[in-house]
Amino acid sequence: MSASSSDDFLQLVSGTKIMFGSLPLTHRYGGHQFGSWAGQLGDGRAHLIGIYTNRFGSRWELQLKGSGRTPYSRRGDGRAVLRSSIREFLGSEAMHYLGIPTSRAASLVVSDDNIWRDQFYNGNIKKERGAIVLRVAKSWFRIGSLEILAQSGELDLLRMLLDMVIKEHFPKININDSNKYLAFFSQVVSETAHLIGLWMSVGFAHDYGPFGFMDSYNPDFVPNTSDDEGRYKIGNQANVGMFNLNKLLKALNPLFSPRQKQLAAQILEGYPQQYYKGFVELFKTKLGLLGENEDDDYLIAFLLKLMEDSRADFTMTFRQLSEISEDKLKDLNIPKEFWALQDIAKHKNFSTWIAMYLLRLKGNVGDSDSERRRRMSSVNPRYVLRNWMAESAVQKAEINDFSEVRFLQQVFQHPFLVQTLAERAGYAQHPPTWAEDVKVSCSS
């Protein structure tokens, strides 16, 4: 019997047994919801049960989500439903194998107990199956962990917590440096710009509750039915990042000298440029462009506008550009299996963009068509976790059939490789007609 099927392991990942020497704890954090300060938010249903260091020296914090009430549960029951737990389990793993920094999911345990939820906040309360996810991350601290202390005037605790975070998770920062908090802020700004750029490069709208990968390209894509005004639409993610960093700066300001406050404000002012520069570089890579050209940002914007106008599939447009030869593009000879390119090829300006693109590819010194396609296929996934895939897996899991959950988990371990079974399942084809009806919400 493997360790993962032992009773001790099952009790551990279901939260019914505590590891020897473990002292479970929960984070206290606050935050903003839809732009307004909401006060203390959690952790209302997550327990940190230990820290694990693997054989490579990487340190991981182990956390159970959906494991019951905490001192910060407010009016919640501390539980999580199966549908949202499956989505987080698959979503975080899919992001990891796409090469995007993320928390990971180590296990998913289904409870025998049912819990009450109003999934779409429309008064339709029903029983749903509960679940617990064991998830891991380098750290579970967040901006709200610092905000709550600054908001309540607990500056000594704020300083202590920040020193610990820097010491444990920002080893390049000298803990004795008088500018350590400024260096911390600068690194968080840079990493935030980079992370959101990575999300955009795969068409991902955050977070692991009501998240979504775009089907048709649409900068107004909002996977969350609770977001009536589109605050968190995919095209606004960089702006929300700026908002969050503003709140982090506000939390850190009591620890800064007047000069440090000025420098921190300048660092924040540089965020939009950092983000946009990274965004352009990521999309240049997706298009197989080498070197520098002053018109690259226009070439990218032109393509995205064509995709928006023609409702072209985001993932497969870039993937099929990775697979088609330059000769076929030059002749506008789009085979029927390149269905996403056929959709965008109907646009009256597609031939103009193709001519610009092929001319730009000629500037790839020492490159070849086969090398371009190889390079592009290594960064443009063929499979992403579309909401209809997750919904199909959830519906089967609700009746104790977890085969599709396991299958998707396997598929997303190799998102850039053509997989026979994934092709048969239609994961690289036009989404089914019912996919447009899939809705997700904050309810979990």
At 299-334, the pLDDT tens digits run 999 999 999 999 999 999 999 999 999 999 999 999
Rounded Cα gap, residues 349 and 303, in angstroms: 10
C-beta of residue 286 within 8 angstroms of C-beta of residue 379:
yes
Query: 193 to each of 222, 347, 361, how far by Cα in Å?
Result: 20, 32, 28
Q: Is residue 283 part of a domain?
A: yes
Rounded Cα gap, residues 128 and 395, in angstroms: 12
Q: Is residue 164 part of a domain?
A: no
C-beta of residue 253 within 8 angstroms of C-beta of residue 261:
yes
Please report, in angstroms and rounded to a whole number, the separation of the first and last CA atoms in the chain: 33
What pLDDT, on a 0 to 100 scale, did the predictor assign at position 113? 83
Per-residue confidence at 2, pLDDT binned at 50, 70, 90?
A: low
Question: Cβ–Cβ contacts within 10 Å for residue 395, how many?
Answer: 12
Q: What number is the average pLDDT over the span 230-234?
A: 95
| Claim to verify: residue 125 and residue 271 sit in the same structural domain | no
Q: Is residue 391 part of a domain?
A: no
Give the three-class secondary structure for 187.
Answer: helix
Q: What number is the average pLDDT over the span 416-441?
A: 92
Per-residue confidence at 442, pLDDT binned at 50, 70, 90?
A: low
| Claim to verify: residue 179 and residue 70 sit in the same structural domain | no
pLDDT of 22 above 80 = yes
Q: Is 442 exposed, middle or buried (0-12, 13-18, 19+ CB in 10 A)?
A: middle
Q: What number is the average pLDDT over the span 291-298?
A: 97
pLDDT above 90 as % of the chain: 85
C-beta of residue 194 within 8 angstroms of C-beta of residue 188:
no
- Give per-residue pLDDT as tens, 50-70: 999 999 999 999 999 999 999
What pLDDT, on a 0 to 100 scale, did the predictor assign at position 75? 83
Rounded Cα gap, residues 67 and 14, in angstroms: 7
| Claim to verify: residue 372 and residue 411 sit in the same structural domain | no
C-beta of residue 340 within 8 angstroms of C-beta of residue 312:
yes
What pLDDT, on a 0 to 100 scale, did the predictor assign at position 443? 63
pTM for this predicted structure? 0.95
Look up the domain containing 320 and give its range. 174-380
| Claim to verify: residue 93 and residue 218 sit in the same structural domain | no
Please list the alpha-helical segments (H only) found in 379-418: 387-397, 403-411
- Give per-residue pLDDT as tens, 386-403: 999 999 999 999 999 999
| Claim to verify: residue 205 and residue 332 sit in the same structural domain | yes
- Give per-residue pLDDT as tens, 335-389: 999 999 999 999 999 999 999 999 999 999 999 999 999 999 999 999 999 999 9
| Claim to verify: residue 128 and residue 235 sit in the same structural domain | no
Q: Is residue 157 part of a domain?
A: no
* Cα 70–chain centre separation: 26
Domains: count for the chain: 2
- Give per-residue pLDDT as tens, 158-187: 999 999 999 999 999 999 999 999 999 999
Rounded Cα gap, residues 352 and 329, in angstroms: 11
Q: Is residue 82 part of a domain?
A: yes
Which DSSP state fits 42?
E
Q: Is residue 148 part of a domain?
A: no
What pLDDT, on a 0 to 100 scale, did the predictor assign at position 74? 86
Q: What number is the average pLDDT over the span 111-137?
A: 85
- Give per-residue pLDDT as tens, 67-97: 999 999 988 899 999 999 999 999 999 999 9
Please list the alpha-helical segments (H only) found in 203-295: 237-252, 258-269, 271-286
Among the ranges given (2-16, 233-247, 374-388, 419-433), the one the predictor scored with the smallest mean pLDDT: 2-16
